[in-house]
Amino acid sequence: MTEASRLPPRPTDAELEILRVLWDTGPATVREVLEALASRRPMGYTTVLKLLQIMTEKGLVLRNEEERAHVYRAGRERHETERQLVGDLLDRAFGGSASRLAMHALATKPSSAAEIAAIRRMLDEQSEGEK
């Protein structure tokens, strides 16, 4: 059973840093990930390699071995993983109260007018659905 389960586990901190690179820049080799990471979280080459190997086992990334330098890409879309992480925090810390979590997020850092408008639209839709 070397296959990754259908739902990959929650990525760890270091794994999430790597996923963000892959989401931002698309499929990349170890060296490309290493360089993209250099400013934010410097790691050694083999550290990145090892993490990507482990993430492949977990199903967090997919590997293309056609070229000598394997090319990795995120196994799930950014949106899906974000949803997973939010849902996880929701359960672990907020007892499922999404509104409390949302208000904390909004209080932490002010949003732009456009972002606020987008949230209002979402709330409007939810209010409609509730009718």
Partner DNA sequence: TACGTTTTACGAAGAACTTCGTACTAAGCG
Partner DNA sequence: CGCTTAGTACGAAGTTCTTCGTAAAACGTA
Task: Say which residues have a Cβ less than 8 Å from residue 54's Cβ, sequence separation at least 6.
Answer: 15
User: Exposed (0-12), middle (13-18) or buried (19+): which is 115, by Cβ within 10 Å?
Assistant: exposed
Q: Which lies closer to a second copy via its Cβ, residue 5 or residue 126? A: 126
Q: Which lies closer to DNA via its Cβ, residue 65 or residue 128? A: 65
Using the rule CB under 8 A, which residue among 5, 65, 110, 128 binds a second copy? Answer: 110
Tell me how far, at minimum, the Cβ of 25 lies from DNA, in Å.
16
Q: In b/e form, how buried is each residue of 43-53, taking b as 16+ CB within 10 angstroms?
A: beeeebbebbb
Structure tokens at 27: 């499929």
Sole window of 24-32, 87-95, 100-108, 120-128 interacting with DNA (rule: CB under 7 A): 24-32
Residue 15: other Cβ atoms inside 10 A = 19
Compute CA 70 distance to the chain's CA centroid, rounded to the nearest angstrom.
21
User: Exposed (0-12), middle (13-18) or buried (19+): which is 67, by Cβ within 10 Å?
Assistant: exposed
Q: Which lies closer to DNA via its Cβ, residue 57 or residue 124? A: 57
Which neighbouring-strand residues pair with 73?
62
Is residue 69 a contact residue for a second copy (CB under 8 A)?
no
What string marks each residue from 5 to 24 as x (binds a second copy by CB under 8 A) or -? --------x--xx--x----
Tell me how far, at minimum, the Cβ of 47 lies from a second copy, in Å.
18
Using the rule CB under 7 A, which residue among 23, 27, 47, 101 binds DNA? Answer: 47
Positions in the binding site for DNA (CB under 7 A): 9, 12-15, 29-31, 41, 43-47, 49-51, 53-54, 68-70
